[in-house]
Chain A
Amino acid sequence: MAGRADTAAARRRWLLLTPALLVLIFAASGPLLIVVVYSFLTPGDYGGIEWMFSTDAWFNVVASRDFFDETVTWNDAHLSIFWRSVKLSLMTTLACFIFGLPTAYFIATRPKGQRDFWMLLIIIPFWTNLLIRTFAVMEIIRNEGVVNTFLINMGVIQEPIQMLFTDFAIMVGMTYVYLPLMVLPIYASLERLDFSLVEASYDLYARRWRVLRRVILPLAKPGMIAGSILVFVPSLGAYVTPRVLGGGKNLMLGNLIELQFGQGRNWPLGAALSITLLAIVMVALLIYVRQAEREGSHG
């Protein structure tokens, strides 16, 4: 009897789990498997693939063979794009942290009734289309844009500073777009913070800076880790922002992948690059979480 009740409960559990499993299989695992398979095939002449095994795509991710004399060299174009992607993502994460932490702290220390209002201000940009937001950044930093016009009128500079279509522009754009993803988790952990702990540390002779460093920051750490991951991961795969603000010259990984599936007509290479991106993200997360845990247990 107990056995029958158990099987009924088990069946119900599986029934409840099924929608999520279906989504995972068809929307995540399935496509991922297809991408892995494609990366080991030969590109078709007009895009698509031919069902012929080849490791060329993987070879081309990091290296290139000279068309005439067959000498093998590092693929500098790809490597510089990898490096730029990682570098810009790290800088974006850092910038989001620098702007996000004080913002989150500010909101968390407002009276309860006011916090929702400030959170709303942080969330409102999310309601706007990503492309529109990116064009807004463009309007601010282009040569005839708000910043340059202002500086020229003030007489600070004679010639406009070239900011648009640079790595800097991409970083500014991504920081703007992903900032809420940093603020929200940090705010969540600061809001839970028991303010009497802050009082206790003041009482025990800690000045402002030390209260922050020894009590507030360590307790907000889970939020800081979550926020950093939430910003770093999408930055690494960003597509729209580098496309618009990088002007097609300063590619990031997302653009490179898109290129292979579009004009490049090299689907296997695109697939191999996608998996490379996935691998970079996973390695980065592993290192980061491991590091954060170690610091956590030591102090």
Chain B
Amino acid sequence: MIEVTNVTKTFGSGADAFTALKEVSVTIRQNEFFTLLGPSGCGKTTLLRTIAGFIDPTSGSLSLEGRDILGDPPYLRPVNTVFQNYALFPHMTVAQNVGFGLEMLDKPRSEVQATVREMLELVKMTQLADRQTSEISGGQQQRVALARALAPKPKVLLLDEPLSALDFKLRKEMQIELKRLQSETGITFVFVTHDQEEALTMSDRIAVMNEGRILQIGGPRDIYDHPAERFVADFIGDTNFVEGTIRAIDGEAAEVELPSGKTVASRRQEGGPQAGAVTIAVRPEHATLQAGEGLLSGTLSNIVYFGTDTHYHITLDDGHAFVIRRQNQPDARESYAVGDAVGVSFAPGVAQVLRD
């Protein structure tokens, strides 16, 4: 649907030059909820604005449904944007805002009115159609911005951190709302966020970006369970990093020797390291704690009770820290105490060999 190929964008020149996108390539599929996730300054907004047409890339190509659209100005691209600050027209009513795009496309008046009504219904704003945009709340402005961008029935809807200005509860509501809108309209959504939870709960696929590059593309579960790089593992969720050495590989499987001398079956990415010293990642909830020997052994240094779960902080024999998260059961007594000698284990295939 959208093909981004080797797009590079450099701002400024000479010593001040800043490369916001470095050879970025990604394919976004029809009807999917695609998220660009990364810390601020990673290039995700630059990529979004390139698709919208506000930024001309320095090199690379961009096509929509097989047609090259790089030369098209924003008003010729069948793509609409929900801006971070909503950018609603302050001199127009809610309904006039929603109808603006259709009016600019010179649609007949009756069609504009019908679509505006339909869109306002879709975002549940029918009652406030004649209000000025300054007279409605932030969450309502958000809905109007969505309706305005959806009204011309774009092929792709671009959303630039649209939920960041909302408070926690409203954000949760809008996450569900966005997902509903996406499935009801069948429009491809490209969503930019720095919030990993937002990305995991809403997306069909996520592209994790850092320093102008896409590090990994995959479904939420894939990205979380099988991070390909240290940055991805670290940015999304909590992770334990353990140094090890690859002893043997077989496709996606790798036999990794741990500092304790024991080996464990791990998972590696295609094109990842094939031998030598590597870092493996293990999620805190994927590891288990046991008294005595485990794959790794150490001393329990802290126990933190969180209500839903308990975090066990372990100092491994080689001095590294390791955290295990265990879900709490009703009326279970704590069976460990700080200072206990414990073992850490994880099932074969759980540890992820990182590329770096």
- Chain A interface (Cβ within 8 Å of chain B)? 194, 196-197, 199-207, 210, 214-215, 218-219
Q: Within the complex, what minimum Cβ distance (angstroms) separates A223 from chain B? A: 13
Q: Check A204/B83 contact, CB under 8 A, given A197-B89, A199-B74.
A: no
Tell me the nearest residue of chain B to A206, going by C-beta. B104
Q: Are B73 and A200 in contact (CB under 8 A)?
A: no
Tell me the nearest residue of chain A to B54, going by C-beta. A199
Query: Taking the complex as formed, is B105 at the interface, i.e. its CB lies under 8 A from any CB of chain A?
Result: yes
Q: Are A203 and B90 in contact (CB under 8 A)?
A: no
Q: Are A200 and B89 in contact (CB under 8 A)?
A: yes
Tell me the nearest residue of chain B to A195, going by C-beta. B87
Other-chain contact of A210, B73, B83, B104 (Cβ < 8 Å): B104
Q: Are A200 and B90 in contact (CB under 8 A)?
A: no
Give complex CA distance A207, B89 in Å: 16
Q: DSSP class of A's interface residues: helix, strand, loop or mixed?
A: helix
Give complex CA distance A215, B90 in Å: 9
Interface string of B92-133 (1 = CB under 8 A from A): 000000001100110000000000000000000000000000
Tell me the nearest residue of chain B to A198, going by C-beta. B87
A200 contacts across to B, CB distance below 8 A: 81, 83, 87-89
Contacts A202-B73, A204-B104, A205-B152 aside, 13 further interface pairs with beta carbons under 8 A come to: A196-B83, A197-B90, A200-B81, A201-B104, A202-B53, A202-B54, A202-B75, A203-B53, A203-B75, A203-B81, A204-B100, A205-B105, A219-B91
Q: Within the complex, what minimum Cβ distance (angstroms) separates A295 from chain B? A: 11
Query: Taking the complex as formed, is B85 at the interface, i.e. its CB lies under 8 A from any CB of chain A?
Result: yes
Query: Taking the complex as formed, is B148 at the interface, i.e. its CB lies under 8 A from any CB of chain A?
Result: yes
Give complex CA distance A206, B104 in Å: 5
Q: Within the complex, what minimum Cβ distance (angstroms) separates A199 from chain B? A: 6
Q: List 16 A-B contacts (CB under 8 A).
A: A194-B85, A197-B90, A199-B87, A201-B100, A203-B52, A203-B53, A203-B75, A203-B149, A204-B80, A204-B100, A204-B104, A204-B149, A207-B104, A214-B100, A215-B89, A218-B91
A194 contacts across to B, CB distance below 8 A: 85, 87
Give complex CA distance A215, B75 in Å: 15
Q: Within the complex, what minimum Cβ distance (angstroms) separates A185 from chain B? A: 17
A210 contacts across to B, CB distance below 8 A: 104
Q: Within the complex, what minimum Cβ distance (angstroms) separates B97 from chain A? A: 9
Q: How many residues of B contact A (CB 8 A)?
A: 23
Q: Are B91 and A204 in contact (CB under 8 A)?
A: no
Q: Check A202/B74 contact, CB under 8 A, given A196-B85, A210-B104.
A: yes
Q: Are B87 and A206 in contact (CB under 8 A)?
A: no
Q: Are A203 and B89 in contact (CB under 8 A)?
A: no
Other-chain contact of B101, A204, A207, A218 (Cβ < 8 Å): A204
Q: Please give me the 5 A-B residue pairs with the lowest Cβ-Cβ distance, nearest first.
A: A204-B101, A200-B87, A205-B104, A196-B87, A202-B74
Q: Within the complex, what minimum Cβ distance (angstroms) separates B259 from chain A? A: 52
Give complex CA distance A207, B103 in Å: 12
A196 contacts across to B, CB distance below 8 A: 83, 85, 87
Q: Check A197/B87 contact, CB under 8 A, given A204-B100, A205-B104.
A: yes
Other-chain contact of B90, A199, A205, A206, A219 (Cβ < 8 Å): A219
Q: Within the complex, what minimum Cβ distance (angstroms) separates A188 from chain B? A: 16
Other-chain contact of A204, B53, B54, B85, B152 (Cβ < 8 Å): B152
Q: Are A203 and B73 in contact (CB under 8 A)?
A: no
Q: Within the complex, what minimum Cβ distance (angstroms) separates A215 from chain B? A: 6
Q: Within the complex, what minimum Cβ distance (angstroms) separates A191 from chain B? A: 16
Q: Within the complex, what minimum Cβ distance (angstroms) separates B170 from chain A? A: 21
Within 8 A of A (CB), among B4-45: none
Other-chain contact of A205, B54, B89, B91, B101 (Cβ < 8 Å): B101
Interface string of B137-150 (1 = CB under 8 A from A): 00000000000110
Give complex CA distance A202, B85 in Å: 16
Give complex CA distance A199, B54 in Å: 8
Within 8 A of A (CB), among B202-238: none
Give complex CA distance A206, B75 in Å: 6
